[in-house]
Structure 1
Amino acid sequence: MVVVLMVASFSRQWTAQLVHEPLAEALPEASPAPARVAQAVGVGASSTSVGTAGGGDSAVEPPAPPGAAENTPSPGASPQGSDGYRRSLRRSVAAEAVLGVVVLAITTLLTGTQPSRAAVETAAATAEAQAPTARMVMVPFDTGIPNGNGKVQITFAPGRVGDNTVEAVVYGADGGLMSIPELRLTLTHRAQQLGPLDAKLVDRQGYFAADRLRIPLSGAWTMNVTVRLTDVDQVTVAKDVTIRPTPA
């Protein structure tokens, strides 16, 4: 818009020049008025020296100064600058029109474009909505006895800072559900030297669960999973799990 206004100021100047040009042409140049000159008429005077035979004063125009005819403007003549002013005015008006179209196009584009901050917030909200609502970790174990190996599937919901529910399911070597007498789970945040936090899992007849486990910090937590198959056969396995921060 600043550029458009600058071009418009030039157009205004060219228009003013064209308006002033006809005014200059309309002003006539001053021409010398004829003067009456008295001449004596006597006897023997030549008849060609007097304007009339009756004698008396006669009006005689003085000769025009040299170059007067050249200085007199001819009718209908136009200054050479008028055409230049018109060409400049046409160019400036055309530039105004082009710049106006560009400004309208940019304005239309910006009107339909979402602000950057809102776009970032929308993208974050979309990613948050698409993020999983639970964190699941598979922990393999091997107690060293026949049929003493398998996997523990541990699920944190929602897997964020704050209160979480924990569910653990034990799978045997054949991939089927496995019943064990005890399963313990603790979490330690090594970077902050926090823990261990005991999940206090409870046997729910087929799986182990904790209704409330408060996790105070986000980041990598080390899980220590203790699987006990018999009174003397058990193993503790460590596995990291990432806890996400609470959304703002």
Structure 2
Amino acid sequence: MTSMIVDRRRVCRAIATLAGLFVGFLAVLLGPAAPASAHAVLVNSDPGNGTIVPDAPNKITLNFSESVQLLSGKIQVLAPDGSRADQGDPTADGGTVTIPLRSGGGRGTYLLSYRVISADSHPVAGSLTYSVGAASATPTGTIDDTTVDPVVRALIPVGKYLGYAGLVLLVGPVLVLALLWPHRLSRRGPGRVVWTGVGLVIGSTLLAIWLQAPYSTGSGLFDVRVGDLRDVIGSTFGAIMLVRLGVICASALLLRPMLRGTGADSKTDLALLGVLGVAAIATWPLTGHPTASPVAGVSVVVDAIHVAAMAVWLGGLVMLVGFLLRQADQRELGAILPIWSRWAATAVAALIVAGVIQALIEVASLDGLFNTTYGRLILTKVGLVAIVLGVAWYSRRLVKSKAAEESPRGLRRVVWAELAVTAVVIGVTSALVQIAPPRSSEASQTAAASTTVTKTLTDKKMALQIDIFPAAVGNNSIHLYAYTPDNKPLTVVEWSATAALPSKGIEPIEIPLLRITDFHAVGDIALPAAGEWTFKVTARISDIDQSTLSTTATIN
């Protein structure tokens, strides 16, 4: 009868843990509404999107909000007749991408489409148009497909979840075996846990390398070509994944004697394992949001501390509930539990401090915290962690009261509860690393506000194009181009222009203009307020002929 009760309790505990893991997976799969969200933003381009330039440029420059890497064959420029206008390979320098163009491009509208990889390993795709001389029909045929195969989209966060789980089963148990494990107890069970952790980390890393190929190119899970994998391995992401594999394999060689109990006292091996552990943990932030943070050095260190604290705390709990509370006697628990309690308190404190710092960097505002998916997941994670901390506080009380040493069963139930909730926390974390932080949204809004406004005005004598950049309060550049009614450059003898904001009582302000070519003039003006501004331009084309044209433009 007693054995049946014990077996029933074990089944209940197993079900509770599996339920926690299942909910964690649901948080991974259902939490991110759009895991393919781009984290880098196109801030501006030269020529600007939708602008008309007098002469065909010899290159196009794209400026992103963070560093990007190029994908082979994923940038193209189409001429008005549908032919390729780009020539040679584009280059990337930080967040600036330069695309060389063939000379002698014809008049009309050009289409640029691109797909690149942002610093945090997410694809960024889009398109823009510009016209030479005059606008025409936009050529068809783009490669800016932002979709991601749904199977790939689902597997990426699952792979991350398995990687975090493997780290937990590797780091915490090894630390406990090295420093707290009683010599009389067998290491066979903990050894299986550690090897499971090694397998999960290696498997998730190989899966991440494979998935990055279709994720980057937008292809299907099994449509990966050798060249795609070569591009992934040759990227920063691939290099970091290879380092992780190498570090884990080297650690596995050092772990074999420890797990057999033949090399547990080797201080050299423990020191090497410590170095390799730090190197392995560092690979997690180096492939995520911290690398693209405004303070990347701080973010990488803080995130590494966050991951390490999580692995030590949860891995130690696994060892505690799985082995020590069942196998260690009262004397051994009396020595182990106070030490573990201090470790757990330190790990939790580091976890909270690092998490708060990272959230402040990524979220940056209350609006981003409450009105973005990323911010709401942060709040969800905080709520779950608060529950775990409450359970951890209770377990610490049990340790201090010595009740856990005399009757470990109560502490085991508490630790099982901690592990079930933290399984969900890991799921939320896996979702967070796939979602664009609020600072990316802010960069996108800034880019949208900092655009060139182009207006084309016509009368019987001319067609006048006005470009206003960045169309925002403060200093603005004004470009004026004059064309004949049949879109040929028109010589202007004298230019004059004013800007006014009647709705706020701002009278016309004269814009100083400099004549650049026969049909092109440029000027600068400081616009003091936002609103619907009126721009009036007078162009004298002879001693007796001139045209005065006006338009309105929204200044943000």
TM-score (norm 1): 0.50
More helix by share: 2
More strand by share: 1
TM-score (norm 2): 0.25
